[in-house]
Every structure is written in C-alpha cells, then in structure tokens.
Amino acid sequence: MNTNKKVLVVDDDSDFREQMEMMFTTRGYEVQAAPGRKEAEEVFASFTPEIAVIDLMMENDDDGFILAYRIKRKFPECIVIMVTNVTGETGIEFPGADESSGWITADAILSKPVRFEQIEEELRKLGSS
C-alpha cells in the first residue's frame, strides 16, 4: 500500500472526479482533483503529483494530451494515466504507451468506466505499487 502518494485527477465530469477521489483516498493516497487543464496547472504549482489520471477530452478535444505533455515535462517521474470515453464508438484507437507513440506522453491509456483494479494493474506494470 502506498500511503501518501500524491495523485492528481483531472476530468470535467464531476462524478468521475468524485469516484477517483473516493477510490484513491480509501487506499491511502493523497488526492487533488481539478475540472480542467487550467485548474490542473494551478494545482501543480504547489502540488507535485506522482500519479496523474487525466481525461482526454475536456473543454478542448486535446486538453488531455497537452496536459499530459506539460506534466511529463515538469515532473518526469510522474506516471500519467489517460482515461477516455472516445475509444470504441468512433473507432479511434490510440497508439500504446511505448516510445513509438511519439508525442503522446501518457504511460497508459484506459477506457471509461475505469475500475480501480485496472489502475492498480497499470501502476504495477509501471513499477509503482
């Protein structure tokens, strides 16, 4: 159990933020949530996230990508997990999280609804559990 690891949750859907907060807090993480890219950037001025869970499409369709990029640049150690509703219905598949994915700086991409076990699984694979 990772007590006090810092998690940043960014999603414009208040219910998703709520759920992530509940899941992470009951497992001993310290959570900060933000409803958009700008607010997230304000948060990490004073909060160094070790894990970031980011929705892909917020106010702008690419907010998630931009935010992931900025977080990785500012906190290279931070694990970025992108969550999205997009895969599936539009047939858009995002390339995986390996080096060949180029500018997509997420470590993992998950489809909503996200279950905590999935996040734990990704974190374990990425060596942070």
Partner 1 sequence: MSEEKILTLLIVDDEQGMRMGVKRSLRHFAMDIEDTDEVIKLKVIEASSGEEAIVMMQESPPDIVLLDHKMGGITGIDVLMWINQNNLDLMAIMITAYASIETAIAATKQGAYDFLPKPFTPAELKVSVRQAASHLVALRQARELEKEKRKVRFQFISVLAHELKAPLGAIEGYLYLLRDGIGMEDPAVHDKVVKRSLIRLGGMRKLIYDLLDLTRLESGQKKRELSSVDVLDSARNSMEMMKPEADRRGIIISLENSSETIPMLADNGELEIVFNNLISNAVKYNKDNGSVTVVVEDQSDQVLISVTDTGIGMTEDDVEKLFGEFVRIKNSKTRNILGSGLGLSILRKIASLYSGEVSVKSTVDVGTTFSVNLKKT
Does the CA dihedral 104-92-33-25 come out positive or negative? negative
Compute the 3-state secondary structure of the chain and give helix, strand, coil in percent, each to the nearest 5: 35, 20, 45
Cβ at position 73, least distance to partner 1 in Å: 24
In angstroms, the CA 28 to CA 79 distance is: 17
2 near partner 1, rule: CB under 8 A = no
Residues 88 and 93: their CA atoms lie apart, in Å, by: 8
Minimum CB separation from partner 1 for residue 89, in Å? 4
Give the binding-site size for partner 1 (rule: CB under 8 A): 27
The answer to the question of residue 118 lying near partner 1 (CB under 8 A) is no
> Per CB under 8 A, does 3 bind partner 1?
no
Site residues for partner 1 per CB under 8 A? 12-16, 18-19, 22-23, 25-26, 35-36, 38-39, 58-59, 85-86, 88-90, 112-116
